[in-house]
Each structure stands twice: as structure tokens, then as C-alpha cells.
Structure 1
Amino acid sequence: MRTRLALPLALVAAVSVAATACQSSSGKASATPDKKDTPVAAPSAADYNPQPYDRIKDGGTFTTVGTFDDQGNPFDVNATLTATRVWAWYNADAITYSPTGAVQYNPDYYSDVKVAVEHGDQKVTLTINPKATFNDGTPIDWTAIRATWKANNGSDKAYAASSTDGYSQITSVEKGVNAKQAVITFKGVNAAWSTLFSTFLHPKAATVAHFNNAYVKKAHPEWGAGPYTVGKWDTHSGDITFVRNSKWWGRKGKLDKRVYVNLESTASVNAFKNGQLDYTSAVDAESLKQVKGLKGTEIRSGGSPFEYSLYFNTRSAVLSDPSVRKAVEESVDRAQIAKIQFQGLDYKEPLPGSSVLYSFQKGYEDNVSAVLKYAPDDARKALDAAGWKPGADGVRVKDGKKLDIGYTLLGDDPLSKAKAGAFAAMLKPVGIHLVIKKADEADFSKILSDRRFDLFLSGNRSLDPFGARYLCDFYCSDRDSNLTGAGTPALDKEIRATTGIADLGQQAVAVNKVEKKALEQYAVLPLYSGPSTYAVRKGLANVGATIFYNPLPETVGWQK
């Protein structure tokens, strides 16, 4: 899943265009610059104290901010990222990803997985662990896979499904050699199929009534499975305690208790400082300053699968000309914008080269650099050639109109205002006047849906490693999720052709080739990703900056 501003239901809305520390990734490494002060390569920018299972103590408690949301079913359209995280502590974690996005099958659920393509159609065979059982005694078998598919494939509109993408491509889910085997057949191929069944529903939870309503302000541990189950849920405070599940067939959970405390995110730093929490995000320089150096704690920081970009509304009169858009992009010093963004965070990263793939992923290419460079002089020449002549005040003029371009700024965040000011300063010497237009954060969705902007800075976050599947959401001319309105039917066809490639490596090659063409529309300019930074109690293992990696619950705990 990719969470992105103003994308369809498959992509949960992000709410901030200010600096954000995003959940990050991977193996143990430092985000400290080397002696040459070069940007940290994203593959090594991870910090979460990875420890094998046998190096974790038995016992202890792990406490963070969180609660059951109003809708606790992560497949439901109204569920949030918090719901997904809480769900994972008392339901199946059948498929996870490595920090860099490699698929990992959990043998406690799927003892064997086979993927084949026959006559152009993909077939996935899941062999389910013979011991796998829901907490109410119901065997976990092919009917759970079928129930999950039927609830999410869009054939019954009564289900409030978050996304039918992928599920709608499945033509059947059938019993294999026995009930412990599910055979899933797709029309065509789906390289990202693993995102569809990383967890699943109890068949009883997959009726329309239960899917939509059973998890509203309620937990159903009897329909769950895993090393932990709900021990106590205080419906008044919202606090949750998970305890070891006596019905679990796999390795037992290391922790005695996993506790979520229902606090506002703004209160989490103080709660960490007074010992109430074991872990909290340090989202900006100020919060980092408060937690840095606290006795018994450490800062874990790394990269994240999050990216902010500058979006150009190609349907606005001033930006309808590609030469103007290109001139703007050539005038923006992305390295300087990143420097402003990361001020006070002791963090560096390579400039992003793609909207859909990250530099820590296999197959990534710097597509931005292949089609664009920071070149203000070239921008001036291009504007001259396009008929935009410098005016007496330095602002270019064409057909009696000044080259005034709007920049929509939400709220009063100082960092966002600093970046807006930097954009204006960069564009001024080229002869472009940036008109900063302040807007209320409450109007955010309407600004995007109505395209009431010229330039707009917003972000997206990937929750799975299959960014290539979202290429159309960024660049297809007929997608509402394409904030810029750029693109052509011919390019749309090339983009959609990439989704039919089953091999992820070959798909990445095709995606990079097409994205270079899409970037030549000069309507999207990737700017930065940013760090995931956390304050953590010393000794806490497998927690921190992890990119795509979500450690299995039984592996989280306190290091021996």
C-alpha cells in the first residue's frame, strides 16, 4: 500500500505537508555522514537494533502510543494506519517485507508458496501450516483466503472495502489438494500479489455486516491468531494490553505485555521523557532536541519510504506551457530545499530520482537526473525562446502578462514557510515571480480535488515495496490521482503495459524507461524523503527505523 495525498481509497490520505519523521527501514546501520560528509546511501540508513530471537529476553513490557481506532478492520475504507498496526499484534502476520522490500513468507502461516504463470494467467498456491488455527478453534484454511478475496474484490458493493485493486483481478480462489491449500488464479499477472494476503479475515468476520461493523469500537480476539492476543482493552481510556496467546502454535512471544497508551501524538514526547513510553517519534528538530541525550535512551534514525514532491497544475494558464514548467524545475536547487528541511536533524540523503521507487530498492534508477539538471542559465534561455521577456522590475512578461506563479502554502508551519521563501528566492533571478498564497489546512482536500493551485508541495508514503504498481496514479492522464493533469493517452498505454509484467526486475526496467518519459512532462519534481527518527529505551530490540520491515511480534523485546 502507498499512502499518498489525494489518492484513491487504496492509498490512505496523509495529512501533513510539513516535516514528518516517517517510519523507516531495514538492517542495523548508522545515518551518520562519512568523513567526506556525503549523503547517506538509503540502503544503509536504517537503525532498529536487529537481534535474533534467541538474543531477546523472556519477559518485559513494551509501551508506545496507540489505540483501537473507531474502525479496527484494516480492510475497511475507514481504517487508518494505526488500525493496521494494532491489528498485527493479534492477527496473522503471514507475509512481511525486508527493510529493502524483499518478500518474506511466515512459515507459521504459509508453509509453502508457489507462483506460476500459465497461458498468461498467474496462479498462486498457498499451502497453509497444518497447525494454523484461529483462536476460536476454526482451522485457518483456504476458506479464509477465499473469504478475504470475496470481501475485497468489489463484486458486492455492500462491503466498505478500502481497495479492490488486485483482488478484482482474481478470477477464483479454490481448494487445492486439501483444505489447507488455497489456489488463487488471476486474470493476467500481478507482481504485487503478496500485498493482498499478508493478513486475512476469519470467514465469520467476512460477512457484510461483520466486515463493516463488527470491529467498530470492538476487538474480536476470538477471530484472531498469533503469538499475542488481547489481554485488556479499556474502552474508556482507549488503552490496550496484549498478552501471550496460549493457543499459538509457533515461537512464543518474548514480551509479557505489549501496551498501547491512548495519547495525542503531541503528548508523546513528554510521556517518553517521564518514563511512560519506551519509544516515540522525533518528528522535527525541536522534538529531537527534547529527547536527545536522555539517560537510558538512544536515538535511532534512518531513511524512510516517504517522499515529498513539487506538483505543477498543468491546467492552470501559467503552467500550461511545458517550457515554463521546465524552467521552474531547472531553477529549483533541490539540495538547498533538502538542507532547509533537514536543518537540525543531523541527516543527509541522496536526492530522490523517482516518484515510485526508492534508492534502497532493487531496480531503482535516478530518472530525475536523467531528464533534468539544476540549470538556472538554461531556464533563462528557455524562457527567452518561449517569448517571456524580462520586465523593468525583473519579472518576465509575455502578451502583457507577468510571469506570476502561485504557490499554495497550508498553515503557518515555520519550516513550510521557509521552503516557500526559498522557492521564491530561487525563481526570482530567472524572472519568475512566485506568489505565495496561504490556505487553511481544513481546505486541503478541496484544494487538491478542485486543483486550486499552480504549485503545491505534498508527499506520499509507501507501505509496501511495490511502488511500480502506482506509476499510473502519478502519471496517467485519465487518473484523478494524478494531481498535475499532465500526460497523454499514448503515455498512459505505455504505463499500463508495465503492470502486466510478472517479473519484478523486468517490471522495474520497464517502469524506469516509462517514468523518464513521464518526467519529461515537467509536472512532478521529487524533492526529498527525510529521516525516520525515534527515541528508544536502550536495549529495546527490533524497533526503530525499519523502512518496509515490520518485525514479527514474537521477535520484539528486550535484548539479553
Structure 2
Amino acid sequence: MRARLALPVALIAAISVTATACQSSSGDGGSDAKNAPSAASGAADYNPTAYDELKDGGTYTTVGTFDEQGNPFNVNATLTATRVWAWYNANAITFSPTGEVQYNPDYFSDVKVSVKGGNQKVVLTINKKAAFNDGTPIDWTAIKATWKANNGSDKDYAASTTDGYEQITGVTRGKDDKQAVLTFKGVYPSWPSLFNTFLHPKAAKADNFNKAYVKKAHPEWGAGPYTVGKWDTHSGNITFVRNPKWWGKKGKLDKRVYVNLESTAGINAFKNGQLDYVSAVDAESLKQVKGLKGTEIRSGGSPFVYSLNFNTKSGVLGDKTVRKAIQESIDRTQIAKIQFQGLDYQEPLPGSGLLYSFQKGYEDNVSAVLKYGPDQAKKELDAAGWKPGSDGVREKGGKKLEVGYTLMGDDPLGKATAGGLAAMLKPVGVRLVIKKADDADFSSILSERKFDLFLSGNRSMDPFGSRYLCEIYCSDRESNLTAAGSPALDKEIRATADIADLDEQTAAANKVEQKALQDYARLPLYSGPSTYSVKKGLANVGATIFYSPLPETVGWEK
């Protein structure tokens, strides 16, 4: 899954999150290119500790709350929602930090994959003890219900992504109710991303799929070592406690607590000992938490990419020449400097929305289609009839070349980034109008496309980046924030899903992404490190790349 930081996007089995979270795009890579590493960090740092080495008991407390949409399969779900979901629902398939598939025997006692006549078959044998908290057995009907809700055949479902699900031709009962047989049209090598969690058949009814989890939990439809203890709609705080109905390895913690705090308050709460773990997203927060007694910094690679989205249905951004000129005017190296100042971190500029530079098959698709060049941008705008006005802002047909930039919240780093973009565009004759918005309006801004330019991030929850090509770039997808693309390109994008070999599929996806980037509607800007301050002794928490530790393995060292 890929969790969107922003959207409505699903990129975590397909999903979304709010975020603000490097070579220059110039031909020579900019002044810092010689010093930049050739790939982003693929290091993990999370104090991996065996289950038997953890003590029984304790509480784990972090910043967090529930999101508007808590169903991770829904188009409006966020990364936050997905993480909360995982504490009281099935975690059936996970990945190692580097992306190897791991089946959880508490859910799937056996998995067999075969290909016959060019079509793939997957047989999932479900643990005999597995049951939802309301007593409903977890069986083949849960797999079927999850498939039906996400395969796009019923338009009443606001599914985050249909990719992969639509290639399944059937889900049937195997030797008994505890076996699901999945048949595919062709081969879908990244199928594990489709069923790393699944829905209770009741939750998979259209009305419940769309509305039941809005600001609500349904622990009765959940399963796992923990269940909801307290879901406080007033404060936004959540507490998970051990689930007496769990059949597998019991959770090591007595409680898992989310406290609803803004980022600054979260740093202070960590310093006061009220939290066990906090994200250090910038130099100021890192400075505040570094060296605190009884804590340590854990830092590693990040499967995030933050991109600038251009709403192609909004005003002057409907003109591809304008979009290209704006992208050519943005010095991504300088944006990265703003983001990473004081973090002692460097990375090459991200060249793809699909894969990261530490992954096999990654290609710098951005540099293949875009070069940093404000002088070239000026020439293109001149040729397109955008003439500089007396105030330096270009005009055409009585219209000023003004573009809005939606800035969420009051984060200093977000403000600095917006200011940097405005300063880069001004000499080219483009006025950037910064429009402040409340974090609470995030979902509606995206789902209703109430923006011109919007910076948002995606976090990949699985290593199958090519799977998300359509989600990001297909013209008929809600998850394509830019609304760019064409039916002809959609056809090329969807054809990549039919390639059975993962390496070949990735190579084809890279070629198609280069074409999609020539719409100049989406510009990857930076990824950044994953850096956290953690109380010493906290195990299996930190910079995990693609790894999502099972809830029962999170706890405190003996």
C-alpha cells in the first residue's frame, strides 16, 4: 500500500495523509551535486528486538488521533488513519525494511502462488482460529468482500485504488470456508499489497465502507492483539488495550495511547516525559530533543516523496506552457536546502513518484524531461504571449499571471518553502499568491480540488511502486490530484499492469512515467530522512522503511 500523505490517495494498500513536509534540476545538477550522495538513504534504525526479549506490560504513548475517514481502503483515508487502523485490525501481510514479503501465520497459515496458462492463482489458507471480534469467522468471504469493495465494479464504493483488485477474476471457496482461491487475469506480482489487511463483510457493504468509519471506530469488526479501550471524540485521544478475543501471540503492552497534540506541543510533551516517541521533522525540533537524558535519536531512510501538484483545471494552470515554465523556474536544490537545514542530511533530488533511489529499478524520470532553467522559462512565456507588466508580473489578454499556493497550518518550514517558491517565480514574472488554510480543511481542499498549487507527500507502505502508476497519473482517477492526463496515456499506464515480470514491469512503468511527467502537472521535490527521538528501551519503533512492525512486537526491552 502506499499511504498518501495527502490526498485522497491511497498509496498504503492505497491510502492518504496530510503533510508538508536534490540535485538541482539543472543539467549540471547544481552547485551541491558533487557532494550529494548518489542515492537516498536506505538505512533502517528501529532497535529490532525479538518478541521473547520484550518485557510483559507497559504503555506506549505518542502524538496521534483518528482521522475524518478511518477506513484505509477509502479514497479519503490518510496515512494517519491507516496507522490507527493497524492497531485494532488485521495485519496479515507485512514487508521487511527492504521490501521482502512476510506472511503473518496468525492470519494466513499457508500461501500458495501458481501460474497456469499465463494466469495467476493465489490460494490463501486462513488460520482456523482467526475470527473477528464479533465472533464472525475470518474466512474466504472476508477476502471476497474486500475484493468486491475495491475492484471498481460497483461505483457506490469510494475506493482508494482499484489497481490489482480489478485484475482478479474471482474469489471462491477452497477446500473449506477457511481457504480463499483468487484467480487473476494475467499475472499480478505485487498481489500481497492487496490483502495485507481486509474488511469484515459488514464493513464491506457500500454504505459502511464510505461512512461507518467517519470519526468512528468499529472494534467489533476488527481483529488482532489489541482492541479499542477508549475513543474520545471530544479530545481526539485514543487508547488501545489487549484484546481478550485474540488467538495469537499476545500484545506485550498493557496500553497503546495516542494523544491529540499539535507538533510543537508534542515536542514539549516528549521533553516532559509524557510521550515515548516523537518525530523530529526539522532542525529546530531535532535540536530540542537531541541529548535528552534517557532518550536516543533514531534516523534512517524514508519511503516518502513530497511533490508539488498543479491543478490543471484551475485558471492559468490549464496552459501546459505555464506549468512547464513554473517547473523550470523552481530550483529544487534550494527547496531541499530549506527542508534539510540543520539536519546533517543530503540526498539526490527525487526523480520519480513510484520508486526511491535506494530501490532496484529506480530511474530519474524527472531529469529526463525537465531541466532547471528560469531563462528558458522566460523565453517560453514570451513566445506564448505572456508579456511582463509594469509591476513585473506577466499579463496576457488582460489577465495577470498569478497562481495560488495553498499553505496548510502555520508550520515555519511550510512558510519558508512557500516563500522560497514565491521568490523563485517572481523574476520569471509569475506572482505566487500564498493562501493559508486550516489543517481541518485538508480533505475538502484535495477532494474538491480547491487549489492551484499544493504540496503533498506520499508514503509507500509496500515496495511495489509500479503498482501505483495509475493511481498517480491516470486521468480518470480521483487520486490524481492534478487531473492531468489523457485516455491514450491511461491505456499505456494500464498496459504495464499486465506485465508478469516485476523488473520488466518497473522498466515499462519508468518509460510511461516519463511521458506522464511531460504534462508538467506534478513535480517531485524532496524525500528527506525519517528521524525520531525515542525513549531508550523502546523496541521495534523508529525508521523502518517498508517495515510495519506487528503491534504485538512493539514494547519495552526486558
Displacement of 1:124 in angstroms is: 1.4
Mapped to 2, the partners of 1:482 and 1:150 lie a distance apart of 22
Residue number in structure 2 paired with 1:440: 437
2:125 aligned partner: 127
- Residue 44 of structure 2 aligns to a residue in which SS? coil
> In structure 1, which of residues 243, 257, 260 is the aligned counterpart of residue 257 of structure 2?
260
Quick check: 1:100–1:360 contact (8 Å CA) kept in 2?
A: no
Instruction: Name the amino acid aligned to 1:436.
Output: V
CA distance in 1: counterparts of 2:177 and 2:444, whole angstroms: 49
Bigger CA drift: 146-155 or 501-510? 146-155
C-alpha change, 1:379 and 1:207, in structure 2 (3 Å) is: closer
Amino acid at match of 2:548: N
Q: Is the 8 A contact 1:405 1:454 kept in 2?
A: no
Whether 1:546 and 2:553 are equivalent positions in the alignment is: no
Separation (CA, whole Å) in 2 of partners of 1:52 and 1:551: 11
What is the Cα deviation at residue 495 of structure 1? 1.5
Letter in 1 for 2:254: K
Q: What is the CA distance between 1:126 and its match in structure 2?
A: 1.1
Deviation readout 1:190-219 (Å, 9 max, x if unpaired): 444323321234557666787765998555
1-structure distance, mates of 2:500, 2:419: 45
Q: CA deviation at 1:389?
A: 6.3
Aligned-partner residue type, residue 114 of structure 1: K
Corresponding residue for 1:349? 347
Counterpart residue type for residue 49 of structure 2: Q
Relative to structure 1, the CA distance from residue 525 to residue 207 in structure 2 (aligned partners, 3 Å threshold; closer, same or farther) is closer
CA 1:170–1:493: 2 relative to 1, 3 Å: closer
Tell whether the 8 Å contact from 1:244 to 1:256 is kept in structure 2 after alignment: no
> Could you say if the C-alpha distance between residues 459 and 47 of structure 1 is closer, same or farther in structure 2, counting changes exceeding 3 Å?
same
The letter of the residue matching 1:465 is: P
Residues 303, 531 of structure 1: 8 Å contact kept: yes
Partner of 1:243: 242
- Equivalent residue number for residue 268 of structure 2: 270
Cα distance change of structure 1 residues 513 and 79 upon mapping to structure 2, 3 Å threshold = closer
Give the 3 Å change call, closer, same or farther, for CA 493–273 of structure 1 in structure 2.
same
Superposed, 1:247-396 pairs within 5 Å as 248-249=247-248, 251-253=249-251, 255-266=252-263, 267-315=265-313, 318-383=316-381
Q: Helix, strand or coil for the counterpart of 2:328?
A: helix
Q: Residues 395 and 402 of structure 1 are in contact (CA less than 8 Å); yes or no, is this contact kept in structure 2? A: no
Per-residue deviation, 1:118: 3.7
Note the alpha carbon deviations across 1:463-485, whole angstroms, 9 max, x for none: 33333233233333444544444
Question: Counterpart of 1:327 in 2: which secondary structure?
Answer: helix
**3-state SS of 1:422 partner:** helix
The counterpart of 1:182, out of the listed 180, 183, 187, is 180
Counterpart position of 2:86: 88
Q: 1:556: Cα distance to partner?
A: 1.9
Match of 1:404 in 2: 401
Partner of 1:33: none
In the alignment, the residues of structure 2 paired with residue 313 and residue 215 of structure 1 have an alpha-carbon distance, to the nearest angstrom, of: 27
How far apart are 1:366 and its partner, in Å?
A: 0.8
Aligned partner (choices 103, 110, 113) of residue 111 of structure 2 = 113
Q: CA deviation at 1:530?
A: 2.6
Q: Matches of 2:303 and 2:215 in 1, distance apart?
A: 30
CA contact (8 A) 1:368 1:519 kept: yes
Q: Which amino acid aligns with 1:258?
A: K
Shift of 1:278: 1.3
Q: 1:213 to 1:371 in 2, by over 3 A?
A: closer
For residues 287 and 163 of structure 1, do their structure 2 counterparts lie closer, same or farther at Cα, with a shift above 3 Å needed?
A: same
CA deviation string 1:389-433 (max 9, x = no partner): 667776666x6768734242425544333223322333344x323
Q: What is the aligned-residue identity percentage? A: 68
Pair 1:147–1:524, CA change in 2 (3 A): closer
Provide the residue aligned with 2:226 in structure 1: 229
In the other structure, the counterpart of 2:18 is 15
Deviation at 1:437, TM superposition (A): 4.0
- Aligned pair in 2 of structure 1 residues 243, 474: CA closer, same or farther (>3 Å)? closer
Distance (Å, rounded) in 2 between the aligned partners of 1:84 and 1:365: 29
2:493 to 492, 495, 503: 495
Q: Which has the larger radius of gyration?
A: 1
Q: Structure 2 vs 1, CA of residues 271 and 427 (structure 1 numbering), >3 Å: closer, same or farther?
A: closer
Cα pair 1:3 1:461 within 8 Å, conserved: yes
Pairing 1:433-472 to 2, within 5 Å after superposition: 433-441=430-438, 454-472=452-470
Residue 546 of structure 1 aligns to a residue in which SS? Answer: coil
| 1:277–1:315 distance in 2 versus 1, CA, 3 Å | closer
Three-state SS of the structure 1 residue aligned to 2:87 is coil
1:542, CA displacement in angstroms? 1.0
SS of the counterpart of 1:44?
coil
Contact 2:15–2:72 (CA under 8 A) maintained in structure 1: no
- How many angstroms does 1:13 deviate by? 4.7
Task: Give the secondary structure class of the aligned counterpart of 2:546.
Answer: coil
Aligned residues: 537
Give the match for residue 142 of structure 2.
Answer: 144
**Bigger shift: residues 202-211 or 492-501:** 202-211
Distance 1:220 1:452 in 2: 34
Cα offset, 1:512, TM superposition: 0.2
Residue 81 of structure 1 deviates from its aligned partner by 4.3
Q: Compared with structure 1, are the counterparts of its residues 395 and 273 closer, same or farther at alpha carbon in structure 2 (3 Å cutoff)?
A: closer
The Cα shift of 1:95 comes to: 0.2
Cα shift at 1:170: 3.1
Equivalent-residue separation in structure 1 for 2:82 and 2:241 (angstroms): 15
Give me the whole-angstrom Cα distance separating, in 2, the residues matched to 1:170 and 1:232.
Answer: 37
Deviation for aligned residue 1:83: 4.7
Relative to structure 2, which stretch is displaced further, 388-397 or 85-94? 388-397
CA contact under 8 A between 1:410 and 1:444: conserved in structure 2?
no
Answer with 536-545 or 100-109: which moved more.
Answer: 100-109
Match of 2:555, as an amino acid?
G
Greater mean alpha carbon deviation, residues 387-396 or residues 127-136: 387-396
Task: Name the counterpart of 1:5.
Answer: 6
Distance in 2, matches of 1:229 and 1:449, equals: 32
CA 1:518–1:248 in structure 2 vs 1: closer, same or farther (change >3 Å)? same
User: Separation in 2 of the partners of 1:369 and 1:79?
Assistant: 31
Q: Which amino acid aligns with 2:348?
A: P
Give the structure-2-normalised TM-score.
0.81
48-57 or 240-249, larger mean C-alpha shift: 240-249
Quickly say closer, same or farther: Cα 1:70–1:490, change in 2 above 3 A.
closer
**Contact 1:468/1:508 (8 A) holds in 2:** yes
Counterpart AA for 1:279:
Y
Superposed displacement of residue 380, structure 1: 4.5
1:513 aligns with 2:511: yes
Alpha-carbon distance in 1 for matches of 2:469, 2:376: 29
Q: Which moved more, 1:3-12 or 1:457-466?
A: 3-12
Q: What's the CA shift for 1:324?
A: 4.2
Name the structure 2 match of 1:522.
520
CA RMSD of aligned residues (A): 3.9
1:107-134 Cα offsets, whole Å, 9 max, x none, are 3322332233444543211123455455
SS in 2 for 1:363: coil
Offset, 1:541: 1.6
Question: Of the candidates 529, 532, 550, which is equivalent to residue 530 of structure 2?
Answer: 532
Structure 1 residue 551: Cα displacement = 0.7
Deviation at 1:524, TM superposition (A): 2.0
